[in-house]
Amino acid sequence: MRSVSMCRFLCATALASPVLPALAQTSPFATGTAAFQSNFLTILTPVAVIAVMALGVGAWFNRISWGWAGGGALGIMLVFGAPQVVSWIRGLAGV
């Protein structure tokens, strides 16, 4: 009788064990950072558009070099493309 209950306990534990790591993947920290990133990019979008226009006008009238304008535009692309860049690098690493 005892071996049957022990067998049932071990089977239930073995079936429940893959579920436990899946439940641990959602954390309040991950939810908060995702919300912060979404809000930050929402606020930053109009600022980035104005910055690209200012860089273009400054380079057009020869107030700044085209290298500075290109560097600013590249930096803005990296800010907005950071999630895609991180997922791409994680895919290369197999994580």
CB–CB of 76/48 below 8 Å? yes
In the predicted structure, residue 25 carries a pLDDT above the cut 90:
no
Helix (H, G, I), strand (E, B) or coil at 69: helix
- Residue given tokens 């071996």 in the structure block: 3
Q: What is the tens place of the pLDDT at every residue in 36-82? A: 888 988 999 999 999 999 999 999 999 999 999 999 999 999 888 88
The ranges assigned to domains in the chain are 26-93
Total-model pTM: 0.56
| b/e sequence 25-42, b meaning 16+ C-beta within 10 Å | eeeeeeeeeeeeeeeeee
Query: Given a cut of 70, is residue 35 above it in pLDDT?
Result: yes
Q: What is the pLDDT of residue 23?
A: 56
Q: For residues 63 and 31, give the distance between their C-alpha atoms in angstroms, rounded to a whole number.
A: 43
